[in-house]
Amino acid sequence: MARTVRRRLRLDSIAISLANVLVTLFILGPVFLLFLGAIQTEKSLVEDYMRLIPTQVTLQNFEVILLGREDILHDTGFYHLPRIIFEFKRVFLNSLIIATTTTVLNLLVGSMAAYAIARLRQRWTQGFMYTNLASRMVPLMVLMVPLFVTLRTLKLLNTLVGVIITLTGFLLPYTIWILQSFFASLPEELEDAARIDGCTRFGSFLRVVLPLSAPGMGAAGVIVFILSWNEFLIPFIVNTKAEVYPVPVLIATLVTDYHVYYSLVCACILMGLLPSVALALLLQRYVTRGLLAGALKG
């Protein structure tokens, strides 16, 4: 009997390990293909895109986007590239400013709203929560025309500020939802003790709740950063000047009516993946704890 149980446990362990390997390969497969495309010349990639082992390995694609080298265009097979590709570093900085500022604003405003919903158990707070969630059920495309008109009236078109404010408003419901669940899982006795010692409610929020909320803040911050970093539609609609383009819009410019610059697209996507992957790996422990805490409470 014991031998049968051990054999069954061993088979279950092997099956789980095999499933993990398959899922990992499924996730990393496209990234590997992007890497293969980024280290080939355009001519080599187009001639045989099914080849797994490149015949011509080169870093010229990264030299074009990172160093702005126009002298090697003929070697790579490009002749009429959009000029914005030589300003990839500035575009990357635009994305970094947009994603970082949007994340900070979401955590600042969303944490206070989520705390009010979690602790002030009144009808208006619950109504605000449901209204907050319902607002994200409206398709984004439906709101593009009024959004464009509003930003034009405020003279925020073609500015990073307009994109940041818009993204902060659209992503705030996610932040509130995550943090509200996490705040609700924290014991209220700690705040009561702080208020007995003389803290106001806001003071206990700053001195007690926020220090204990690092996992929840980390989870919300990573999710908001990734969503704002990868956002394409809002910057594409409200910005028409290349000076304020983020990385997703730059990548879209490489797909034209006449040609798709495949190897450069692969290189730009790989560079664009770096901040999101680095942040997720750096805060992986906090993200897991933050999401599980809210889920278990719910």
* Domain residue ranges in the chain: 88-247+273-297
Q: Are 234 and 143 in contact (CB under 8 A)?
A: no
Tens digit of pLDDT for each residue in 208-246? Answer: 888 888 888 888 898 899 999 999 999 998 888 888 999
- 183 vs 164, which has greater pLDDT? 164
What average pLDDT does this structure show over 64-78? 68
Q: Of 72-81, 134-143, 214-223, give the range with the top mean pLDDT.
A: 214-223
Mean pLDDT of 178-206: 82
Mean pLDDT computed over 125-131: 77
The mean per-residue pLDDT over the stretch 235-258 comes to 87
pLDDT band at 298 (very low <50, low <70, confident <90, very high): very low
Q: Is 57 in a helix, a strand, or coil?
A: strand
Mean pLDDT of the chain: 82
Between 17 and 270, the more confident residue is 270
- Report the half-sphere exposure of 25 (CA within 13 A, side-chain side): 6
The percentage of residues in the chain with a pLDDT greater than 90, rounded to a whole number, is: 20
- Per DSSP, the three-state class of 40 is strand
CB 10 within 8 A of CB 24: no
Helix pair angle (214-230, 262-282), 10° resolution: 170
Average pLDDT over residues 46-53: 74
255 vs 121, more confident:
255
Indicate the pLDDT class of residue 74, thresholds 50, 70 and 90: low
- The CATH number given to 88-247+273-297 is 1.10.3720.10
Q: Does 104 score more than 90 pLDDT?
A: yes
Please state, in angstroms and rounded to a whole number, the distance separating the CA atoms of residues 252 and 298: 40
**pTM for the full model?**
0.85
40 beta partners: 57
- Judged by average pLDDT, the poorest of 66-80, 113-127, 199-213, 241-255 is 66-80
| Residue 277 pLDDT greater than 70, yes or no | yes
Alpha helices in the chain (DSSP H): 2-38, 42-47, 60-67, 73-76, 88-119, 123-134, 144-153, 160-185, 188-196, 201-204, 210-212, 214-230, 233-238, 247-253, 262-282, 284-297
- pLDDT of amino acid 65: 86
For residue 49, what are its two tokens? 């895109």
Q: Is the pLDDT of residue 36 over 90?
A: no
pLDDT, residue 167, reads 93
Give the model's confidence band at 194: pLDDT under 50 very low, under 70 low, under 90 confident, else very high: confident
pLDDT-above-70 percentage for the chain = 89
